[in-house]
Amino acid sequence: MSYQIGQIVTGTVTGIQPYGGFIKLDEQTQGLVHISEFKSGVVKDLSGEFKIGDRVKVVILDIDQYSGKISLSLRQVGIMALKNTSIIKNNSIKRHFWTNYHLDYGFEPIALALPGWVEEAKKRLS
């Protein structure tokens, strides 16, 4: 199955670790819900929140195009459900990407890449 960022899907909890929980989306696909994405507020112990085998709705936050790893969120489900209604306008929720996924820097040394980065920054500032 093909997944997209922002999509709400139902999955099964397959594993719980101190840093998050693993959610099976289909037979070939599994994603991770980081502990910070389980619910708003502080969560210290995930085993008290969910059990293996529980069915949960999650939002796909990110799909790493190189490794195929999927980042999921439980706490964003309500926000995304509201986004699909008229309560919240489509442009009011902004996605934050941790990397410039659209830029291809490769593995060249920083000394070679730095002048290009500086020029790009100057263009963005002007």
Is the residue at 110 inside a domain? no
108 within domain boundaries: no
Q: How many angstroms separate the CA atoms of 74 and 57, rounded? A: 7
pTM of the model: 0.60
The parent domain of residue 71 ranges over 8-95
Q: Is residue 25 part of a domain?
A: yes
Give the closest residue to 2 by CA, choosing from 63, 66, 79, 84: 63
Domain containing residue 60: CATH number: 2.40.50.140
Residue 2: both structure tokens together: 């093909």
Query: Rounded to an integer, what distance in angstroms lies between the CA atom of residue 64 and that of residue 45?
Result: 27
Q: What is the tens place of the pLDDT at every residue in 48-103?
A: 778 889 899 999 888 887 787 899 988 888 776 666 554 444 454 455 555 555 56
In which residue are the tokens 């709400």 written? 8
Please report whether residue 30 resides in a domain. yes
Radius of gyration of the chain, Cα coordinates, nearest whole angstrom: 18
Which pair of structure tokens corresponds to residue 115?
Answer: 């002048």
